[in-house]
Amino acid sequence: MNDDKRTLLILFANGLLYFVVNQVNESLAPFSIHISVEALFLLFPFFYLNTGQGLLIVLITAMFVDATLPVPFGVHVILYFGTFAFLLKMRRVFRRENPRHVLLAALWSNFFIMLGLSFFTAGSLQNLSEFWFRFLCDLAFSQLVVLIVVGWWVNLQRKALLMWEIDVGAELQQY
């Protein structure tokens, strides 16, 4: 029962984040800047949920994101899973108690997703220096945002779970 609630709540949080980031991007569009903080979708499932739950949330979130974008359906599924698999592999290294670890995981994941997306979607644009310049600018702004919000974001989700009286990470498997 707790599992369902947790899954729903994290999915809702991811949806909310997706919506908010979109609104921010809408405001930034006149400046040709785009923020991408997709790593934040994966952080809580990685640090606080068990693998099965995490994978389910990642899958649903990825399809949710994929559905509205002009990419082959599944690109985000593969990208998110790739990133998530790497995080799982590093579970012994990244400790949720250590804010620096959380930050590092977030920054790394975000970089990986953005880079992966560029390779998946850019096609012939990859040969243009302008594309990579724009990418680097977007990346810099995105990482800055991740840097600022990651602690708050993870805590927010944790607090939300606690508010619903759901045990945070009680069933987390220790590797």
Angle at 122 between CA 120 and CA 126, to 5 degrees: 115
Q: Which is nearer to other proteins, 32 or 163 (CB)?
A: 32
Q: Which is nearer to other proteins, 4 or 130 (CB)?
A: 130
Nearest distance in Å: CB 165, other proteins = 27
Q: Which is nearer to other proteins, 10 or 87 (CB)?
A: 87
Give CA–CA dist 31/132, Å, rounded.
Answer: 17
Six token digits for residue 166: 């759901």
- Cβ atoms of 143 and 110 closer than 8 Å: yes
Q: Which is nearer to other proteins, 103 or 132 (CB)?
A: 132
Nearest distance in Å: CB 118, other proteins = 7
**Helix, strand, coil percentages in the chain from 3-state DSSP, rounded to 5:** 75, 0, 25
Q: Count CB atoms within 10 A of the CB of residue 73.
A: 11
Six token digits for residue 27: 């405001």
Nearest distance in Å: CB 162, other proteins = 26
Residues that bind other proteins (CB under 8 A): 15, 19, 22-23, 25-26, 29-34, 36, 51, 55, 59, 63-64, 66-71, 73-74, 77-78, 81-82, 84-89, 117-118, 121-123, 125, 128, 130-131, 133-135, 137-138, 175
